[in-house]
Structure 1
C-alpha cells in the first residue's frame, strides 16, 4: 500500500509541475490524461483493500455411465427390439415336436429337391411334391432355420415348374422378404450340373445336407458335418445305414432312408 501511495504522490507532483509550465492548449489534453491517471490510481488504491469475491462452486457434470445407471429400469433395452427372425417358434403338433427334437443344434440346411421334396419323374409339364416332405420343410422354416432348396434343371422351363410347385404348396414365397413357415425366394437355387450343386452346398457350409444321389454324397462327405441320403425303393432303406464308404472306412456322417419323413420317424 505504501508503494502505491508513493507512486500516486510522485505522479501528482509531476502533473502539477507540468500544469504550471505548460501552455493552455497543452493543458486541455493534459487535464484529461491527468484525470484518467487519478481515477486509475484511486481504483487501484481501493482494489488493494477489497476482498476478492468468492468464486461460486462449480458443479461437476455426472459421468455418462452414472446417467445411464440413473435411468429407470422400466425403460426398454435396445435388445428388446431384436428381429423376430432370430426367435424360434414353438409349435405344438406331433410333426413340429419331432422336427424340433431331431434338428437340435442345426442352424442351416440344404436340400436337393429331386426325389427328396419333389416326387420322382421327369420335369416336363408339371412338378409334384411329397406332402410329408413339404410339411417338414415348413416346420424347419418355423424353427427359423436357414433352409436352401437346390434343384438341378436343364432349362428355364424346369426352373419355372419347380418354383411354381413350391410356391403353390406354400413351401416357398415369391418374395425375398421373410414369411412365416416359408423359404424366401432367394434361397431357392438352381444349377445345371452335379458339380455346380456340390459347389453351391460347399459354399453354403450347411450343418445338414439332404440328397438322393450317390455322386453328390460322395462329393460332400468330407466337407459337410451330416448328410442324409434318400434312396430309391429296393435298396437298403433302413435309416442309419451308411451310404458311402471311402477307402474301406464307413462314413459316419452319412445316413440313408427311404424318404425325408423317415429320418424323423414319420413313416
Structure 2
C-alpha cells in the first residue's frame, strides 16, 4: 500500500500543476483579450503562443505514458508451468512500468509553469502609452525638461541635452505628434538649441522634425502655441502657465522639484519627465 501511494504522487503533482496552469491561462487570456486588438504587441502575442505551448507540453507529458501502455499488446498466458509464468510476469513489469510520469517529466512541467507565472515587466513604450492615456499630441517646453539649462540667458552660452531623457523622448515620438517649444533671446540661441538636439539624435528617429521645434520671445507666446495646437498633453515647468492652461488642455505634467500646494485635477507633478515614466 505504501508503494502504491508513493508511485501516484508524481501524477498528483502534475494534476495540481495543470490546475494552476489552467487558472493562469484563463486569467491571462481574459486579461489580454479585454484590451483592443490594436493594442496587442509582439510581446503579448508571444505570451499567448507560449501559454499554448505550455498546455500542449503538459498534456503530452501525461498522455504519452498512458497511450504507450494502452497500445502494448496483451501477452498470452503461459501454460507451461510456474517458472514460465514467473518469468513472463517479471518481463512484463520490466518492459511496462506503472503509469507514472518520471521525475524528469514532472521537473520539465514545473519549469514551464514557473516560467509563465513570473510577472512580465512592461516595456517603456507600453508605459508611455499607458501614462499618456493614448494621447496623440504632446507639447513640451525645452528648458528644465529636455535641456539641462533652466533660463534663456543660459542658452546664449551653451545648450546641453539631458541624456537621461532621450529614451523617453524617442518613445513619445513613436506614438504621439510631439512639439517642442521654448523662449529664446536671439537667433543664435535658437540655432544652438537645434544643433544640440540634432547632435543628440533627436531628429534621427523620424518622429520629430525640426519644423516641430518652435521658438518665441515671451512666455505668453509659448502659451499661445499650446492653445493653438490643442494637445492632449502639455509638459511645462512654469506653474503660472500650467494654471492658465488647466481649463483648456486635457492633461498636463508639471515638472518641478517641489510639489505645488494646489494643482488642478488634470495636472500631474513629477521631478522629471523620466521619473514620471518610471525611468529615473
- Structure 1 position 106 matched with structure 2 position 135: yes
Whole-Å separation in 2 of the counterparts to 1:183 and 1:88: 23
Give the helix-richer structure, 1 or 2.
Answer: 2
Of 107, 131, 142, the residue aligned with 2:163 is: 131
Q: Which consecutive unaligned segments of at least 5 residues does structure 1 have? A: 1-86, 174-179, 237-242
Q: Which consecutive unaligned segments of at least 5 residues does structure 2 have? A: 1-37, 44-121
Of 211, 225, 242, the residue aligned with 1:200 is: 225
Task: Report the aligned-residue RMSD.
Answer: 2.4
- Whether the 8 Å CA contact 1:118–1:128 is kept in 2: the answer is yes
State TM-score, norm by structure 2: 0.53
Whole-Å separation in 1 of the counterparts to 2:209 and 2:195: 13
Distance 1:196 1:170, change over 3 A: same
Counterpart in the other structure of 2:275: 262
Shift of 1:183: 0.6
Of 119, 140, 153, the residue aligned with 2:184 is: 153
Distance 1:182 1:147, change over 3 A: same
Distance 1:225 1:94, change over 3 A: same
Residue correspondence of structure 1 range 1-267 to structure 2 within 5 A: 94-121=123-150, 122-143=154-175, 145-172=176-203, 180-232=205-257, 235-236=258-259, 243=260, 245=262, 250-267=263-280
Distance 1:89 1:162, change over 3 A: farther
Shift of 1:89: 11
Aligned length: 162
State TM-score, norm by structure 1: 0.56
